[in-house]
Amino acid sequence: DQVLHIVPETFQQVQHLQQLCSTLLLDLWKPQLSEDIWAGEDLHIRVPAPLVQEVKDSLDQHMIFYKVLIPDVQKLVDQSMPRERSSHRQVSEGYVYTQYHPMEVIYQWMTQIQKNNSELVTQHYLGKTIENRTMYYLQISQPSDKTKKIIWMDCGIHAREWISPAFCQWFVKEILQNYKSDPKISRFLQNLDLYILPVLNIDGYIYSWEKDRLWRKNRSSHMNGTCYGTDLNRNFNSSWGSIGVSYNCSSEIFCGSGPESEPETRAVAQLIERKKSDILCYLTIHSYGQYILTPYGSTTKPPSNSEELMHVAKQAAAALMGKHGTSYEVGSTSSILYSNSGSSRDWAHMIGIPFSYTFELRDKGTHGFVLPPDQIQPTCEETM
């Protein structure tokens, strides 16, 4: 739709414009009523998109000069709208995967996803957060008589990395939309089960929506309530507390009071420990930096299967680049990023899961944690 600005010069032009407005039922913004259109006075009319050309032709025919005041009304409307918060409309087929969603909506989405895809998807209780919220993961599993190996993926271990839960949601959608038609995906599901945890650090995620966009840790309280938050990715039992951490609660990399001190860490660790003999691959999604990180962060000594780990990761990075040209660096955390201990990825590998990777999604710092929503789609597409 466009809004045109016209200053009619003669009475004849005024009459023509009045006729145009009443015949085509155009939306007068200024003046409000057709009777108030005068020669020499500003006229603003909103013309619906399908009629734009017809109206302009008619104006040209009558030598009525006009200017386009607003070339795209919808764009202006969208820009001026505050983000919608929880909205039932947004779940299921209407769900907008190219927008960031608050936790309330993600909970609804999980329920809907299971409902709409009950032959494949089951929602499972994982545990409770420190603020007593329920953690759920989705199991995508094609019924079959053989036991399948498992791929585990968790998102949102760090609250501010919003692109991460957005990716988990996208991933689930892609699998469910295409498993019948895409031979690769269908073969995948014949042999593998997918366990997806869309938001691991639920309390932190909510806090980043409501109070502090750049919050990272969970919301456990320390020092008599004067300090909050443990870095969940320093809290796992993999060389816990040895390097790249702080023992001070006020730090962003505070490793907690002990390994698995946090309920969120325990909830994840317990499940993975239970199923570890069937888990082939552990993936944990973060941002930003554009890296595919292999174990370890706590030491530069390479893991036993490091060649294979690197080979697979390099192939992943190449495939990713093929989509939108985005380059991801591949290597162990301790060699290409920094040293850290207590990470979930290190722990998963140490207990015997052969393929364990951390993905650091877009970008390289230009937007950092605050990645604009128009990058959700390309980021998710290439990571897929």
Q: Which is nearer to other proteins, 308 or 381 (CB)?
A: 381
Site string for other proteins, 352-381 (x = CB under 8 A): -------------xxxxxxxxx-x------
* CB 84, min distance to other proteins, A: 11
* CB 232, min distance to other proteins, A: 12
Torsion from C-alpha of 190, 192, 193, 194, nearest 10 degrees? -120
Question: From the list 137, 170, 195, 209, which residue makes contact with other proteins (rule: CB under 8 A)?
Answer: 209
* Binding flag, residue 231, other proteins (CB under 8 A): yes
Q: Which long-range contacts (CB under 8 A, 24 or more apart) does 310-317 make?
A: 312/355, 313/357, 316/292, 317/292
* CB 360, min distance to other proteins, A: 10
Residues numbered 270 to 289 that lie near other proteins (CB under 8 A) are: 289
* CB 350, min distance to other proteins, A: 23
Q: Which is nearer to other proteins, 78 or 119 (CB)?
A: 78
Structural contact between residues 356 and 294, judged by C-beta atoms closer than 8 angstroms? yes
What is the distance between the alpha carbons of residues 212 and 205, in angstroms, rounded to a whole number? 10
Q: Which is nearer to other proteins, 232 or 279 (CB)?
A: 232
Q: H or E segment at 306?
A: helix 306-324
* Binding flag, residue 213, other proteins (CB under 8 A): yes
- Measured between alpha carbons, how far is residue 53 from residues 8, 56, 58, 77, 124 in Å? 19, 5, 9, 22, 55
Both tokens of 38, joined, read: 């005068």
Q: How many other CB atoms are found less than 10 A from the CB of residue 49?
A: 11
Residues linked to residue 193 through DSSP beta bridges, in sequence order: 150
* Binding flag, residue 205, other proteins (CB under 8 A): no
Structural contact between residues 233 and 343, judged by C-beta atoms closer than 8 angstroms? yes
* CB 138, min distance to other proteins, A: 25
What is the distance between the alpha carbons of residues 242 and 125, in angstroms, rounded to a whole number? 32
Binding segment for other proteins among 209-217, 275-283, 301-309, 342-350 (CB under 8 A)?
209-217
Catalytic residue among 260, 262, 264, 360: 360
Q: Which is nearer to other proteins, 193 or 362 (CB)?
A: 362
What is the distance between the alpha carbons of residues 106 and 199, in angstroms, rounded to a whole number? 9
Instruction: List b or e across 186-211, with b for residues whose CB sees 16 or more CB atoms inside 10 angstroms.
Output: eebbeebbbbbbbbbbbbbbbbbbee
Length of the chain: 384
Residues numbered 238 to 267 that lie near other proteins (CB under 8 A) are: 246, 250-253
84 is catalytic: no
Q: Which is nearer to other proteins, 152 or 254 (CB)?
A: 254
* CB 82, min distance to other proteins, A: 10
* CB 100, min distance to other proteins, A: 6
Q: Which is nearer to other proteins, 312 or 371 (CB)?
A: 371
Q: How many other CB atoms are found less than 10 A from the CB of residue 247?
A: 11
Question: From the list 100, 167, 171, 236, which residue makes contact with other proteins (rule: CB under 8 A)?
Answer: 100
Binding segment for other proteins among 49-57, 90-98, 113-121, 212-220 (CB under 8 A)?
212-220
Query: Roughly how many angstroms between the first and final C-alpha of the chain, as a whole number?
Result: 36
Residues numbered 41 to 80 that lie near other proteins (CB under 8 A) are: 79
Q: How many other CB atoms are found less than 10 A from the CB of residue 334?
A: 23
* Binding flag, residue 83, other proteins (CB under 8 A): yes
* CB 228, min distance to other proteins, A: 12
Structural contact between residues 230 and 217, judged by C-beta atoms closer than 8 angstroms? yes
Residues numbered 288 to 307 that lie near other proteins (CB under 8 A) are: 289
Closest CA to 361 of 77, 115, 151, 160: 160
Q: Which is nearer to other proteins, 41 or 84 (CB)?
A: 84
Active site residues: 360
Which residues sit at the interface with other proteins, rule CB under 8 A? 79, 83, 99-100, 209, 213-214, 216, 231, 246, 250-253, 289, 337-338, 365-373, 375
